[in-house]
Structure 1
Amino acid sequence: MDIQKQKHLRFSLILCTLLGLTACQKEAIETADQNANPQNVQQNNQQAIELIAEDVVQIQTGSLVDKSPFTGTIQAVSQTSVQSQVSATAMQVTAEIGQFISKGQVLVRLNNQDNNARLAQANANLAATKAQAELNRSLVERKRRLWQQGFISKLEYEQSQVEYLAQAEQIKAEQANVNIAKKAAQDTVIRSPINGVITNRQVEQGQTISVGQTLFEIVDPSSLELKASLAVSEAYKLFVGQNIEFRLQGDTTLYPAKVTRVSPVADQASRNITFFARPTAQAPLHIGAFVEGSIIRSSNQQASGQIIPLNAIRHIDTAPFVWVIRDNKLLKVKVDVMQKQSADQLAIVSGLQNNDMVSLIDFKHDDQNKAVIIQNDEIQNNVAQAN
């Protein structure tokens, strides 16, 4: 029995030895194959990257219209706030919000009793002063003759001249008081300084108002303009006469306009430059409407090159590069960014081959040189034809 077990044990040992030798021989053969074809082994160990048509774009060549986006609002060119010049009680209010009014039209009549009384008093004082001056003038003439005849002294004659001149100056002072009182009386009737529409009313009949209080706000809707702002870094593109295009909020239609004024000072908070523009074509503008648009530079300021999506460029501000599919492999290619267009999210670059397919997806460094499969027959055919 013991002899039989020993034989069985020897057989098991011999079998294990043979299996181990076979495994070592196979490993040696695989190692030799790897040393002979390392690139094939590396490709076999890498899994191909699968993309869809929406993940890649074909390179275009040409130029871009240089556009700089901005936002703004529509406002009236002519607008004003009507304020009270006197303190009084509103006796009659004749204008309402939304009402069209003409220049010079009466908006409010204020209590005028005190001002009329002051005007009457000023006129009376002026009349009395003029009468006294006329009397002094007659006395000067009379004393001049008496002095020439030797009946009075020269000093007495000169004194009468001084009194007359003083009275003449008093006339000027009283006339100024009359003018002030007359203006105060006129200011109790408040009129519109422009043609337009009432957009705000802050006075009611019977209300006591003070000097400087705003009563109405008026805008002229017949003449509108854009008020917008642009980053200081883009301010070199702004000048009077510059072409722009804009669209109203909720509307896809683009309307042309020209810059009419540019502020020389940047806003301290936003660091933006404010500018104004007038539409050059009929547009359905409304005061206060939000707009967005672009500054358009002339064609001689445009760059030409390879056009790709702006979001396909990685590290655009430091060391820009893009992922491309070339010969069915994923490559990392450095590019020079010649022009960026934020409005359309496009860029002009150099450094690519025209048959490259640009990836919109970002990859890791280890993905470089991996095989790429684009699951779209049409795209694959285009790549094959380009190659």
Structure 2
Amino acid sequence: MRAIVFCTTVATLSFAALVSFGTEAAEPARPELREIRAQLTPKRFTTLAAEVGAKVQSLPVPEGGAFKAGQTLVQFDCSLQQAQLQKSKAVLAAADATLQSTTRLSELNSAGKLELEIAGTEAAKARADLSYNNILLGKCHIAAPFAGRVSEQKVREQQYVQPGQTLLEIMDDSTLELEFIAPSHWMSFLKVNSPFEIRIDETGKTYPAGVVRTAAKVDPVSQSVKFTAQIRGRFPELVAGMSGRVIVDVPAR
């Protein structure tokens, strides 16, 4: 009798397990649950460097300050370059006077062809020197290539800098972009202009965003791809460098 009861119990449990397994197998596929991180980056950013060796006279825009396109960001003390320019002007004036005099003498057959050519060459050299010094003097201030903000100052006023030395880091944060890495199969539903949301850690708020482009190729090893998006709207509390979690409705696979 006990053997019969045991067999019946085992059979009942086996049937229940099969029913349970069949129920789980029949459940529809659930959406992919995966946290995708993204970081805010400025639309444009660059590094400004010195093109002349000179002392920094002023930095009109402080670190973190905003500026307009064409506004002076760095002004150098270029007294030496200014003096060189004045000297070049004087040398050119003398060379032009000599050329005019030699030309007149040549017309009167009082100066040879060689003398005239030498006078012309000296005038051309003086004109080239003047042009060089004008260009050099133009490097004594650096204007903003676009409107934006100073993200970092690398030098201070009254500091002497060398050509090529880094001065400022600037960025255009009028539009903030997002960069994130996601599975490559997301390309089937996340396309250019596709809307989604991102929850920023630093603010604790959720913001609208939209895809603007995808990478040109997929990483075949990780089967992932980089997406670039933009925050839709202007939110003063958002700054470059903040990060958060991408919120996307991922279709079931």
Q: TM-score, normalised by structure 1?
A: 0.51
Q: Judging changes above 3 Å, is the alpha-carbon distance between structure 1 residues 66 and 116 closer, same or farther for their aligned structure 2 residues?
A: same
Shift in Å at residue 269 of structure 1? 11
Amino acid at match of 1:190: I
The correspondence of residues 229-378 of structure 1 with structure 2, limited to 5 A, is 229-231=181-183, 233-234=184-185, 237=188, 241-250=192-201, 251=204, 253=206, 255-259=208-212, 261-264=213-216, 273-281=225-233, 285-293=238-246, 347-348=252-253
Q: How many residues align structurally?
A: 244
Asked whether the equivalents of residues 154 and 167 of structure 2 are also in contact (C-alpha less than 8 Å), the reply is yes
**Which residue, 125, 131, 140 being the options, matches 1:179?**
131
Does residue 226 of structure 1 match 2:178?
yes
Correspondent of 1:74 among 29, 35, 40: 40
Deviation at 1:207, TM superposition (A): 1.4
State the distance in 2 between where 1:137 and 1:89 align.
Answer: 44
Whole-Å separation in 2 of the counterparts to 1:271 and 1:114? 59
Letter of the 2:246 counterpart? G
Q: Is contact 1:257–1:281 with CA below 8 Å preserved after alignment?
A: no
Distance in 1, matches of 2:24 and 2:233, equals 36
Change (3 A) 1:182 1:252: closer
Higher relative contact order (CA 8 A, sep 6+): 2
Match of 2:7 among 19, 42, 55: 42
Return the offset for 1:77: 1.0
Gaps of 5+ in 2: 18-22
* Cα distance change of structure 1 residues 195 and 282 upon mapping to structure 2, 3 Å threshold: closer
Q: 2 CA distance for matches of 1:97 and 1:177?
A: 37
Could you tell me which residue of structure 1 aligns to residue 147 of structure 2? Answer: 195
**1:12-161 equivalences in 2 (<5 Å):** 41-45=6-10, 48=13, 70-143=36-109, 160=113
Mark the structure with the bigger radius of gyration.
1
Residues 281, 47 of structure 1: alpha-carbon distance in 2 compared, 3 angstrom cutoff: farther
Judge conservation of contact 1:67–1:295 (CA < 8 Å) in 2.
no
Across the aligned residues of Structure 1 and Structure 2, the Cα RMSD in angstroms comes to 4.1
Query: In structure 2, what is the Cα distance between the partners aligned to 1:164 and 1:263?
Result: 64
Answer whether contact 1:244 1:293 (CA < 8 A) is retained.
no
- Displacement after TM superposition at 1:247 (Å): 0.9
